[in-house]
Amino acid sequence: MAWVWGEDRSWPPLSEVLRLQLPTYDVFEERDPVRGYQLMGRDAEVMELRTRVTRGDAVGVFGLRKCGKTSLVRAVTDWLDPASGIKTPGAENMASQACVIWLDAQGLDGADVDDVADELLAALRRRMRAAGRADVPPAQQGIAGLKSASQAIVDEGMRLCFVIDEYDFLFEREGSLGPVPGISRLLGLVRALSQQHQGAVSLVLIGRDPEHLSVPHLDGVPNPLLAGLTPMWLGPIRPPHDTEMLRKLGRRVGLAVGPETATLARAWTGGHPLLHRQFGSALREEVRLHAPGVLLKEPTDPHRERAVERFLGRQAVLDVDREIIALLSKRYSAAYALLLDLIESHDPAAAVKRSGGSQSSGMRVLRNFGLLDEATLALPKHLSWYVRTLLPTQARVAV
């Protein structure tokens, strides 16, 4: 955004600059995790996770890619420990209620669990410096160093929260190498601290699903988290919050999102946060094409149907659909078969019955990932369109 010296050799009012230039910025295309109060449509989920973390639970936040898992956890940890994240207005006056150690596992280069522990220690050092602490823990001391540093924090009477984003990378390494050797030691350490200091130590794992944590044994020993991790599935944004998000973002770019547009967006995206934003972006593009002037509350309902074609042409939409199909076909064959049956069948209830009923494994998976409206048994239209239009026929028949 540029604030340009006017032809009359004066600065135009800031309100005029914003009025003219904000609509040219596509706010719908923002894809980085949002922070704290910027998170839209997830108030209930934030409160649930906040309760579990402050209670000292081990929680797994699971769901499809780009459904807002990291943003949800950040909203909780930024509130719990301002020193662990980006400062929000007034954060300097907020005392941390915990020490949050945040690690993104997809950036790990190490080959064993001590390397993972060293990365957690490095994250703890950064957090302590951000909090103005001089007593930062030593670096590169592996599991033993992490245990000592963690014990020192809880001995101070402070809560401790470990967050591992993209936890799947601890178990799915490049070259099909399998889990990080010794990963059970790290999970066992966190579990032991939680047992010894009940309510003071929590763990949040963020990933696609809990399959890696459901096995009875890790590294040849009992899985420390078996039946000890509470899964929290993050699905689509529920009505009416999806419409509220679309309208709020639309107002920022000069769009007046109408009720028919909101209904159509829900049908096509299913409320998936990224796809809902993509629909808004396609709508903005369509409206600007047919109303090229400065947009001031331009009604969207007359443009809604043409926006669908632009939405389906978005690369982000295709990427999400490919990921869903790849995940289900590779790991959840019953859910994949049910998905295809639901798309081809004129009687969704009969398709569910053929799969084994509402409590079948296929139904459970589709529900967990938020791919099925339980009341109507309807799938998001973007997914049905992808399967019918772009998925090879042989891939559908081979199930």
- By percentage, how much of the chain surpasses pLDDT 90? 69
CATH number for the domain that contains residue 212: 3.40.50.300
Highest mean pLDDT among 119-133, 171-185, 298-312: 298-312
Same domain, yes or no: 74 and 50: yes
Residue 4 lies in a domain: no
pLDDT single digits (tens) 290-336: 876 656 788 999 999 999 999 999 999 999 999 999 999 999 999 99
pLDDT bracket for residue 337 (50, 70, 90): very high
Q: Quick one: 52 and 102 in the same domain? A: yes
Looking at the structure, tell me whether residues 50 and 192 fall in a common domain: yes
Q: Looking at 86-95, 197-206, 384-393, which range is the least confident one?
A: 86-95
- For 222, the enclosing helix (H) or strand (E) is strand 221-222
The 3 state secondary structure assigned to 286-339 is: HHHHHCCCCCCCEECHHHHHHHHHHHHCCHHHHHHHHHHHHHHHHHCHHHHHHH
The pLDDT assigned to 399 comes to 47
Confidence check: pLDDT of 140 > 60: yes
Q: Report the distance separating Cα 190 and Cα 179, nearest Å.
A: 18
Among 330, 250, 324, smallest CA distance to 285 is for: 250
Residue where a domain stops, chosen among 313, 329, 345? 313
Same-domain check for residues 163 and 265 = no
Q: Quick check: 362 pLDDT over 70?
A: yes
The pLDDT-based confidence of 398 (bands split at 50, 70, 90) is very low
Say yes or no: 327 and 218 in one domain.
Answer: no
User: Do the domain assignments include residue 7?
Assistant: no
| Residue 343 CB partners (closer than 8 Å, separation 6+) | 379, 383, 384, 387, 388
Considering the domain architecture, whether residues 276 and 321 belong to the same structural domain is answered as: no
**Boundary residue ending a domain (215, 233, 251):** 233
Q: Which domain holds residue 211?
A: 42-233
Across the range 105-117, mean pLDDT stands at 87
Asked if residue 9 belongs to a domain, the reply is no
Are residues 223 and 322 both part of a single domain?
A: no
pTM over 0.95: no
- Confidence category of residue 279, pLDDT binned at 50, 70, 90: very high
3-class state of residue 204 by DSSP: strand
> Do 50 and 124 reside in the same domain of the chain?
yes
**Mean pLDDT of all residues in 161-187:** 89
